[in-house]
Amino acid sequence: MTATTSFWLEQPSEPVSHRPPAPGAVDVVVVGGGVTGCSCALTLAEGGLRVRLYDARAVAGGASGRNGGFALRGGAGPYDEARAAHGPERARLLWELSERALDRLEDLAGDALRRVGSLRLAADRAEREALERECEALREDGFEVAWIDELRPPLDRLFAGAVCHPRDGAIEPARWVRRLAAHAARAGAEIVESRKVEAAEVDDIDGAPVVVIATDGLTAELLPELAPFVRAVRGQVLVTEPLTEQLYGRPHYARHGFDYWQQLADGRLVLGGRRDASFATESTAVEETTPLIQAELDGLVARLLGRLPEVTHRWAGIWGETPDRLPLAGPVPGRQGVWVAGGYSGHGNVLGLACGDLVGQVILGATPPEALLFDPARLLPATGTGHSWEV
């Protein structure tokens, strides 16, 4: 296995404004400098609280700078399945929340986001039928969506139809999250990089009465009681040399999300997935690539392009997956003043922005309707506490 740096983390980005931590206690400590932590810090700082954010590496150094660069509405599962699993009202809440978060991302990200839409492709007849069911459910509830029956080459020889989500986008994730951190810093948040917080510190760090753990796939390292509910999953990605032909200028994903790719403005193909080739080895918090999955990714590139161009970057990132594939965003049962936001099941680019802001709003005293949907207490019935707060 090999540890590598992502393509995104090597790209130029605006510096995050740092100020030396001021003496004295803070109101809130946020642990994790990804999209969730920076979003939460921004909301809290704008709300007038004194906020300090810690990251063990650098802003966007984890999954927020190591993903495929997709900005998608919705959750980890199809909309029709979400309606069946969580009820129509909660499914609608989730999708509407993600759409508002995408609009906010556009406002905050600037040119780090391209609002080009996305294509979810059917790899076979069964997936086509599943996509048709989801498309119909979205239309029934008034969400914008389009069915594509005839695909352009080279997609037509590989796939059996697609759903277009016209308001989705493609992001340069590390540049976007560093820009979000800069917004938080300008609002007054203190950003401290290269400072690892240990599990023993969580309940008493810097005298802060409130601590927010925003480390997604690494949640259990700081909150071990959540290990059964936020499982670490590894995703592997590669980037090719620039290609002469622009074929995939928007996010594409297929085989229920196990394959995903897009092409950048300079022609590079960014491609990831294939973890279903070895679920056992990819259920891990080890941030390294493996020959097996990388060979699978090479094979997917060759099928999409008809050849294998030079691969310039290969890397891995870790995300958190929950049993019901909904995030955790709220107080941690049994921990006074400790909050968590994470477990996006691979959809953290948009939901991370939404949930960081959501937790910040509730800490500030708001009662957003999505709060109960993501309440961590739903997965910890043994605590006997019921919901962590009322809305």
Region 231-321: CATH code: 3.30.9.10
Q: Do residues 181 and 39 lie in contact, with contact meaning Cβ atoms separated by under 8 Å?
A: no
The residue ranges of every structural domain in the chain are: 25-113+170-230+324-391, 118-166, 231-321
- pLDDT for residue 9 is more than 60: yes
The string of pLDDT tens digits covering residues 58-96 is: 999 999 999 999 999 999 999 999 999 999 999 999 999
Specify whether the CB–CB gap between 27 and 44 falls below 8 A: yes
The predicted structure's pLDDT at residue 17:
76
pLDDT of residue 380: 82
| Enclosing H/E stretch for 183 | helix 173-186
Taking residues 84-110, what's their average pLDDT?
97
Burial class (CB in 10 A: 0-12, 13-18, 19+), 274: buried
Q: For residue 51, give the H/E element and its range.
A: strand 51-54
Which residue, chain included where needed, has tokens 């100020």? 19
Q: The domain 25-113+170-230+324-391 is classified under which CATH number: 3.50.50.60, 3.30.230.70, 3.40.50.2300, 3.30.70.100?
A: 3.50.50.60
What pLDDT is attached to residue 381?
64
Four-CA torsion 282, 286, 290, 294, nearest 10 degrees: 70
Q: Indicate whether 18 pLDDT > 80.
A: no
Q: Decide if 55 contacts 32 (C-beta within 8 A).
A: yes
d(CA 269, CA 147): 25
Q: What is the mean pLDDT of residues 47-54?
A: 97
Half-sphere exposure (Cβ direction) of 139: Cα atoms closer than 13 Å: 11
Among candidate residues 339, 350, 349, the one with its CA nearest the CA of residue 375: 339
User: Does residue 63 contact residue 218 with C-beta atoms inside 8 Å?
Assistant: no
pTM for this predicted structure = 0.95
Instruction: Quick: pLDDT tens for 176-212.
Output: 999 999 999 999 999 999 999 999 999 999 999 999 9
15 to each of 31, 58, 197, 229, how far by Cα in Å?
A: 20, 11, 23, 35
Rg (CA), the chain: 20
Determine what percent of the chain is predicted with pLDDT higher than 70. 96
Considering the chain, what percentage of its residues have pLDDT values greater than 90? 91
The whole-number pLDDT of residue 387 equals 40
Same fold, 25-113+170-230+324-391 and 231-321: no
Q: How far apart are CA 303 and CA 307, in angstroms?
A: 7
Q: pLDDT tens for residues 324-373?
A: 999 999 999 999 999 999 999 999 999 999 999 999 999 999 999 998 89
